[in-house]
Amino acid sequence: MSKTIASDVIAELGKLHYGRKKVQPSAREIREFRDSARGMLKHEILNFKQTEFPIIADALANTIREQNYRCYACAIMPDHIHILIRKHKHQAEDMLDHFQASTRLQFRTRKQRREDHPVWGGPGWKVFLDTPDSIRRTIGYIEGNPPQWRLPRQNWPFVKEYDGWPLHPGHNPNSPYAKSIRKYTE
Name residues whose C-beta falls within 8 Å of residue 101's C-beta, 6 or more positions apart in sequence. none
Q: Would you give the end-to-end CA distance of the chain in angstroms? A: 36
If DSSP codes are grouped into helix, strand and coil, which group holds residue 120? coil
pLDDT (tens digit, 9 = 90+) per residue, 105-164? 888 887 777 677 666 767 778 888 988 999 999 999 999 999 999 999 999 999 999 998
Mean pLDDT of 36-48: 73
- The model's pTM: 0.75
pLDDT at 39 over 80: no
If DSSP codes are grouped into helix, strand and coil, which group holds residue 83? strand
Task: In the chain, list all ranges with CATH 3.30.70.
Answer: 50-185
pLDDT (tens digit, 9 = 90+) per residue, 57-107? 999 999 999 999 999 999 999 988 999 999 889 999 999 999 999 998 888
User: Is 50-185 a CATH 3.40.50 domain?
Assistant: no
- Asked if residues 107 and 119 have their Cβ atoms less than 8 Å apart, the reply is yes
Q: Please count the CA atoms within 13 angstroms of the CA of 186 that sit on its side-chain side.
A: 7
If DSSP codes are grouped into helix, strand and coil, which group holds residue 154? coil
If DSSP codes are grouped into helix, strand and coil, which group holds residue 75? strand
Q: Which segment, 25-39, 151-165, 168-182, is predicted with the most confidence on average? A: 151-165
